[in-house]
Amino acid sequence: MSSSSNEYVVKVKAGSEIMAQIMADQSGKSSESNVATSKKIRKKRSKKQQGASVSNKGTTSSGKRVGIREIARQAGVSVATVSMVLNNNPKITEATRQKVNKVIDRVGYRPNRLAQSLSGRYTRVISILMPTLRHAMADPYFGELISGICDRAARLGHKVMLEHAKPDFIRERRHIELFERRFVDGVLCIGFNDRHAFMKDFIENDHPMVVVNNMFPQWGLDHVVCDYRSGAEQVMTYLQQLGHKKIGLVHGAPEVFTAREIIEVYKRRMTTVTGGFDTSWMADGRFTEEHGAEATKKLLEAHPDMTAIFASNDKMAMGAIHYANRHGRSVPSDLSIVGFDDIQYTAFVNPTLTTVHLPLYELGVLACERLVERIRGKSERVREVLPTHLVLRESTSLAASYAPGVG
C-alpha cells in the first residue's frame, strides 16, 4: 500500500466546474457587497414578503410586524410599561404584568433585539477570536473549547459569534470595531501567540477580553488556562518511572507561553536526571501532524538510541507514531510516545495514546463565565488555572534497556 505522502487518488468524477469556481473565488478581495445591487434586491424582497405573510403571528393584518407600541395600545398601557414587563422590572404589579403578557402571547410579539441593544448599553453577544490556521475549526482542540464556550454562553443568555483574525482583519482594526460598532460585549481569544500584540488593544480600550488556554503575562491580559506545568511534570515523572532516560521532546511553537512551559519542565527534568542536556533532543513540531512527524525524523536520526518521545500535543504525537511506525520502530515496544491534550479520538487510534488530559470543555465554560462577569462590570483580573492529569494508554511501556524484573 502507498504511504500517506504518496496517496493514490481515484477520481471517478472529474473535477466539476462548481468546485473550480469555489476555489477560484477564494482569492477575491474581502469587500462589502455592491450597494446598488443589494438595495434593488431588498426592495423586491420586502414586496414579496408582504404578499406571503398574510396575517401571520407577530404581524398585524396589514402585514407589518407589530412593535411595542401596538402591544401597549392593545393592552391599554404605555410603552414604558410594556418595556418594564418585558424586562421583569419589579415596579410592575402582577395584575398589569399579566394583562400585558396576555396581549403579548396572543399576538405573538417578540421584542426586536436590535432596538433593545441600540437603546440599552449591551449586546448580549460575545465573539470567539482565533487565528486563521487553515481549517482551524476542524481541530478538536479548538472544537472542544468552543463547545464549552457555546454551551455556557447559551445558558447565560449570550449569543456567540465566530471571528477569524486574519492579518488584514487586525490591520484594519476590525477587532476593535467589533466593540465600537457594537457587534459584541466581549471577546474570547484562542490560539494566539506572543507575536499577536493586537490583543493589548482590548485592555487599552477597556474592552472585556479573556484569553483562553494561554497566558500573556507581559501584557497583563486576563486568562484561564490549563496547568501545563503540572501536566508536563507528570509526563516526565511517568517516563522516568518507566526507566526512560533518552527522552526527546517534540514541542510546539515557542512563541506560545504554554509551549514554553512544557519546554522548561522538560529541560529541568532532563538536566536533573541525565545530568546535562542538549537542544538536539528537542524539535519544533509546530502543533501539526506533518511537522510532528518531521520533528520526530530529525530527533530519531540525531539520536537513534532515543527510547521515548514527549510530544506537546496529540496531533504531533500522532505524527510521531506515524513516522516511527513507518521507519522500523514499533510503538511502544521500541519507542514510547506521550501526547498532550487528550482529544477525543486518541482513545481509538492504534496504539491508543498515553496523554495528558486537558479539561478543555470545562475551560471553555469557565472562560465564558469569567468573560460575562467582566462584561457585567466585575473588575478583578482573571487568572485561573485548571488541573490536568495524565491518562495512561498503550503508547508507552518500559524502556527497552531497562526491564528490571521484566514484568
Partner DNA sequence: ACATTACGGTTAAACAGTTTACCATAGCGG
Partner DNA sequence: CCGCTATGGTAAACTGTTTAACCGTAATGT
Residues that bind DNA (CB under 7 A): 39, 42-43, 64-65, 67-69, 76-84, 86-87, 91-93, 95-96, 109-112, 114-116, 118-121
Residue 64 binding partner per list its own copies, DNA, none, with a CB distance cut-off of 5 to 8 Å that depends on partner kind: DNA
Judged by CB, which is closer to its own copies: 281, or 371?
A: 371
Q: Is 401 in the site for its own copies (CB under 8 A)?
A: no
Instruction: Draw the binding track, 360-389, toward its own copies (x: CB under 8 A; -: no contact).
Output: -xx--xx--x------xxxx----x-xxxx
**Shortest spacing between CB 339 and DNA, in angstroms:** 49
Judged by CB, which is closer to its own copies: 299, or 321?
A: 321
Kindly identify the residues of this chain, within the stretch 100-139, that bind its own copies according to CB under 8 A: 110-115, 117-118, 121-123, 125, 134-139
Choose the stretch contacting its own copies; rule: CB under 8 A; options: 72-80, 97-105, 153-161, 259-267.
153-161
The C-alpha cell 501532524 sits at: 289
CB atoms near residue 111 (< 10 Å) = 15
Question: What CA–CA distance (Å, rounded) separates 129 from 361?
Answer: 17
Question: What CA–CA distance (Å, rounded) separates 130 from 136?
Answer: 8
Q: Is 183 in the site for its own copies (CB under 8 A)?
A: yes
Q: Is 91 in the site for its own copies (CB under 8 A)?
A: no
63, HSE (Cβ side, Cα atoms, 13 Å): 9
Between the alpha carbon of residue 316 and those of residues 102, 260, 336, the distances in Å are 59, 16, 14
Q: Is 296 in the site for its own copies (CB under 8 A)?
A: no
SS3 state of residue 107 = helix
Find out whether 288 and 262 touch, Cβ atoms under 8 Å. Answer: no
Please list the alpha-helical segments (H only) found in 223-334.
228-241, 257-274, 289-302, 314-325
**Shortest spacing between CB 13 and DNA, in angstroms:** 43
Q: Which of 285, 344, 278, 328 is nearest to 310 (CA)?
A: 285
Residue from 24, 80, 347, 403 in contact with its own copies (CB under 8 A)? 347
Residue from 24, 164, 218, 264 in contact with its own copies (CB under 8 A)? 164
103, HSE (Cβ side, Cα atoms, 13 Å): 23
Q: Is 45 in the site for its own copies (CB under 8 A)?
A: yes
**Shortest spacing between CB 55 and its own copies, in angstroms:** 13
Judged by CB, which is closer to DNA: 112, or 280?
A: 112
Find out whether 166 and 198 touch, Cβ atoms under 8 Å. Answer: no
